[in-house]
Structure 1
Amino acid sequence: MDPRTARFLAWPFALAAAALHFASEWWVEPLTWQLDPAAVGLIAWLAVGAAGILVPLGGYLLLTRNARRRPATFEVDGRVHRFTAPTAPAWVGPWSIVVGWLTGGLVTVERVPGEDRVRLADTGAVLVVSLVVVAFVLVFIGVVLWSDRPRMVLDPQGVTVRGLFRRTTVRWDRLVPGGPPGSDTRVLVLAEIPDPPGPRAVPRTLPVGRAHVDPVFLAGAVRHYVTAAEHRPAIGTPAELDRLRAALAP
């Protein structure tokens, strides 16, 4: 299974988590009101609620266990000469399911007076707003999964992180050779030449933990292109990716 398929697969699991959360409040919670003592009902309700998130999440993690491994390579986008690392399903998949489950609890319901059942809350505009919010969040999850954001891009000019709402680029010729260390899976700490130039480099942090690429390989690629300027024009070609992987293999 490729990373994109694994990422898109998170959406039906997120919808399932939302449906299970709503079902636990609509059907299961009223049943627990009939249990005695009340503590037993509370425990049963908590157990069902936990299953509503753990079952979809566990199913997704099981189906995508191989696709979630971060590879020591990039994807080649030869049309615009760049290497890319798409959004990591290991990050966006589980979070989408968690947000979906939370969304399922946003529909306003209330207990029917004198009965052990619930109904949609008779609150007029509040109920409508809650349904609109639920629909919007679930659609937004699908849009995020489809958009492939955030992702990492290496091109002949520099390295870029394209997030949902912002884009951060650092040019190769603005980086000081020797970094980053490549030990952190969440960020790349780069040393950038200040503008105007000064006696000390300025630390620059790029959030890369959400990119589907091995962090050690990514750090090595950045170090390589900072020093090997002659290879930058070839970024985005299969031959250059093969050469880069061979150079970083040790």
Structure 2
Amino acid sequence: MAQKSPKPLVAGNWKMNGTTAALKEARLLAGMLEDVRLRCEVMICPPATLITSIKSVVKGAKIKLGGQDCHWYAHGAHTGDISSEMLKDAGCSAVIVGHSERRADHGETDETVRLKAEAAYRADLTAIICIGETLEERKAGRTLEVIARQLKGSLPMNAVPTNTVVAYEPVWAIGTGLTPTVEQVAEVHASIRAKTDPALRILYGGSVKPANAVELMSVANVNGALVGGASLKAADFIGIIKAYT
């Protein structure tokens, strides 16, 4: 019997964007989803300051909430950090870990990412584990090598489809407007699939927008998208979500 494809997930990573004025976009999205026959799960990952407010705004809508990062400890003297337990308490069902911006800006290693993913499991959150190569690594022909190393180092031993999502985001495509070819995306996702459970969701991220969403989401082994800038506006985000209608 053929393996059933996992249900797609379209998650919006707002990054360090959004004040209370952005609540109107979440409200607009909730309203737009009422008229859409969804064939995917929808998630917003806002700044931590907005999680509880957005939870209230989208109440009753088919929108899940996620955090953008967490510490590997449950509590303690870690000024400015947030734990997975805090995110769970605020209303999240998932948390992004290992985003390339965290790896670059904060020196996070594969080991750090693995510890954060384990912390997510501890709080009953889904870990959205990000991996991806730089432009230099792509040009050097090391993409699959880098992906394999990050995957091996970042995924906990107890990673399963019910607690883990992998997001492939080529670093050179994030926020640049550059997008890999369909063939390049297919090659990397096939490589990830060969090393993971067939039911594990593998998202693509990196300059995903309404204009290219259908093409990208149709690639084999692409089970959704991790969307950056285009998720900040409801009209753009719904355009990507509609790739699954």
Pairwise TM-score range, normalised by the shorter structure: under 0.3
* TM-score of the pair, normalised by structure 2: 0.23
Normalized per residue, the structure richer in helix is: 1
* TM-score of the pair, normalised by structure 1: 0.23
